[in-house]
Amino acid sequence: MDPRSIDARRAAFFGGSRVAFFGGSFDPPHLGHLGVARAAQAALGLDTVLFAPVGAQPLKPQGSTACFEDRLTMTRLAIAGEPGFAVSLADAPKSSGAPNYTLETLIALRAELPSGSALFCLMGADAFAAFRHWHRAAEIPFVASLIVASRPGQRLGDLMTALPEGLAVDSLPQSDQSAEEIELRRCILRNPAGAQAPLYLLPGLEIEISASEIREQMQIRERARASAGAPPPERALLPIPVSEYIRAHGLYR
């Protein structure tokens, strides 16, 4: 059986009817990813957040720094013990070597979920900034409702410039009630055919972490260690099991 089908069925069993797909390189998975997922889970009452490391990201032809197997293992370690979080192989590398397109992955996931389930596509502000360049991006919100975690002070206009051609904002963001005092805003997207889809915004998340920053920090520490100097102070950017895995396997040197 296709492992992607197994993971989708596991999601349906594991978490009920409100499932969010959270794709990305996870190179490495860090505390920012967990913070975004927790906020979305609480604000929208998600039953399951599927963390899906991507095999071949179309907008990153150079590929990821760590191999897929390492990124998958680190993702499992990062979410271990987190209620409602699960790892998905929905975006695993294809045997053909073809790129993984989010639209195709979401269509496959939706087909596997029970009738009446709500499927969401969760992403951070950095990913959404490039959304207009995604493969058939204008179709994605009508397969899975978008949840975008924006930064503090980021203007709505900045986010809307990321919308692909053919999508328009049909209504201004309205504040919704959210759990655990997490701010949630909702607006409506409309396509030329008149179809509508919600776009959920999570503004004001104090999460400023980038995977490239982490990889650079790990390299600095390794150089300091190699020169017998004292390593620089380290910010808490990674779950402890992920940090230990990186050191044990010599990643990002």
Pairing of strands 196-202, 145-149: parallel
Residue 133 confidence (pLDDT) above 80: yes
Confidence of residue 167 (pLDDT cuts 50, 70, 90): very high
pLDDT per position as a tens digit, 54-97: 998 887 767 678 999 999 999 999 999 999 999 999 999 999 98
Confidence of residue 185 (pLDDT cuts 50, 70, 90): confident
> The whole model's pTM is what?
0.84
State what percent of residues in the chain have pLDDT above 70: 72
Q: Rounded CA gap, 185 and 203, in Å? A: 8
Within 10 A of 231 (CB to CB), how many other CB atoms are there? 12
Confidence of residue 174 (pLDDT cuts 50, 70, 90): low
Confidence of residue 7 (pLDDT cuts 50, 70, 90): very low
Q: Rounded CA gap, 92 and 109, in Å? A: 13
Q: For the stretch 77-86, what's the b/e string if a residue is b when 16 or more beta carbons lie within 10 angstroms of its beta carbon? A: bbbeeeebbb
- 140-143 contacts, C-beta under 8 A, 24 or more apart: 140/102, 140/103, 140/106, 141/167, 141/189, 141/197, 141/198, 141/199, 142/191, 142/195, 142/197, 143/103, 143/106, 143/107, 143/110, 143/119
